[in-house]
């Protein structure tokens, strides 16, 4: 997936969750949209480089959207979580996620489950469907190539795992897919130190038969694409 033309700036601060103030090389300061609801822990730093896209839509309050951040560890992180599902769909249709290859139909945002959820993808196969929930991962740490999820407490994420587990117990294929939008990563684990309930929910989902996959990306300021499977460390 190619990004629109990106411009570089320097992060001054992120606030009110959806806003970020940046400074351009010219000294101009501007406020851009931050399309990330998480804490963005360890994937941004004040004074660090950011890359953003511009929109000419006159209806938008903010013309810029934060796309990429340079992390304190010197990695690149795609912080626009809205890109993850498009990225995964592109990889699915190209057959890059080999464990999910061979589907005959693909639908996005399908309602399912007992708790009123919507799954990111329903893939249809000759022997039945697979329900795939995608999580965008940007949390990394110094001195390790292991990323973690989540970066903040997520009751919604735990609910999705319960829904997937319920499907798996009924014999329906259910998949949790971590899309690790962070360079220099070899594995991913649950961030129990941030959300112990989510880590326990993941263990329960696996015990119910949920399949857990993780894929890494190749990322630069022109494009991002899924390019390799990653190890999943369920016990951290």
Q: How confident is the model at residue 105 (pLDDT cuts 50, 70, 90)?
A: very high
Mean pLDDT of the chain: 96
How do 146-149 and 173-180 pair as beta strands? unpaired
How do 211-219 and 6-15 pair as beta strands? unpaired
Give pLDDT tens digits for 121-147.
Answer: 999 999 999 999 999 999 999 989 999
pLDDT score, position 158: 97
> Residue 24, Cα to own-chain centre: how many angstroms?
27
Q: How confident is the model at residue 72 (pLDDT cuts 50, 70, 90)?
A: very high
Residue 161 three-state SS = helix
Phi then psi for residue 224, to 5 deg, are: -140, 135
Q: Domains in the chain, ordered, with CATH? A: 6-76 (2.40.50.580), 83-232 (3.40.1350.60)
Give pLDDT tens digits for 170-213.
Answer: 999 999 999 999 999 999 999 999 999 999 999 999 999 999 99
Distance CA 45, CA 12 (A): 9
pLDDT of 27 higher than 90: yes
Question: What number is the average pLDDT over the span 219-235?
Answer: 95
Cα dihedral across residues 96, 185, 209, 136: positive or negative? negative
pLDDT score, position 236: 65
Place of tokens 């897919």: 177
* DSSP E strand boundaries for 126-223: 128-137, 146-149, 173-180, 187-190, 211-219
Which residues touch 45 (CB under 8 Å, ≥6 apart)?
A: 11, 70, 71, 72
């Amino acid at each position: 997936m190619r990004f629109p033309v990106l411009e570089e700036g320097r992060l001054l601060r992120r606030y009110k969750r959806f806003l970020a103030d940046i400074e351009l090389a010219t000294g101009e300061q501007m406020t851009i949209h931050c399309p990330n609801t998480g804490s963005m822990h360890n994937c941004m730093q004040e004074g660090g480089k950011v890359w953003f896209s511009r929109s000419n839509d006159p209806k938008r309050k903010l013309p810029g959207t934060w796309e990429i951040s340079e992390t304190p560890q010197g990695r690149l992180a795609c912080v626009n979580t809205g890109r993850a599902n498009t990225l995964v769909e592109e990889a699915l249709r190209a057959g890059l996620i080999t464990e999910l290859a061979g589907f005959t139909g693909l639908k996005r945002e399908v309602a399912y489950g007992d708790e009123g959820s919507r799954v990111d993808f329903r893939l249809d196969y000759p022997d039945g469907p697979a329900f795939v929930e995608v999580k965008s991962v940007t949390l990394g740490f110094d001195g390790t190539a292991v990323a973690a999820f989540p970066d903040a407490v997520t009751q919604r994420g735990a609910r999705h795992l319960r829904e997937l587990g319920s499907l798996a117990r009924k014999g329906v294929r259910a998949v949790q897919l971590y899309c690790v939008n962070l360079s220099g990563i070899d594995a991913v684990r649950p961030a129990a130190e941030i959300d112990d309930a989510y880590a326990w929910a993941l263990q329960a989902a696996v015990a119910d038969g949920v399949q857990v996959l993780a894929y890494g990306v190749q990322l630069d300021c022109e494009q991002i694409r899924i390019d390799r499977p990653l190890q999943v460390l369920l016990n951290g």
